[in-house]
């Protein structure tokens, strides 16, 4: 996924960016890790 870098708060707001809660971001990251088949923890 390619994302254009926003350098100002105004540019970020105009881009339509919507922030995620910490819980939403962690769940999204977990799903991506599980799909990739990578180990989650090094034990």
d(C-alpha 21, C-alpha 15), whole Å? 19
Q: What percent of the chain has pLDDT over 90?
A: 33
Let me know if residue 42 belongs to a domain.
no
What confidence category does residue 3 fall into, taking pLDDT thresholds of 50, 70 and 90?
Answer: low
Residue 31 has pLDDT above 80, yes or no: yes
pTM: 0.55
Q: How many domains does the chain have?
A: 1
Residue 1 has pLDDT above 50, yes or no: no
Q: Give 34's contacts (C-beta < 8 A, 6+ positions apart).
A: 40
What confidence category does residue 28 fall into, taking pLDDT thresholds of 50, 70 and 90?
Answer: very high
Let me know if residue 43 belongs to a domain.
no
Question: What is the mean pLDDT of the segment spanning 21-38?
Answer: 93
Which domain, by its residues, includes 31? 8-37
């Amino acid at each position: 996924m390619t994302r254009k870098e926003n350098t100002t708060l105004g540019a970020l707001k105009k881009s339509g960016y919507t922030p995620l809660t910490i819980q939403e971001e962690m769940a999204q990251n977990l799903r991506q890790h599980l799909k990739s088949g990578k180990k989650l923890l090094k034990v």
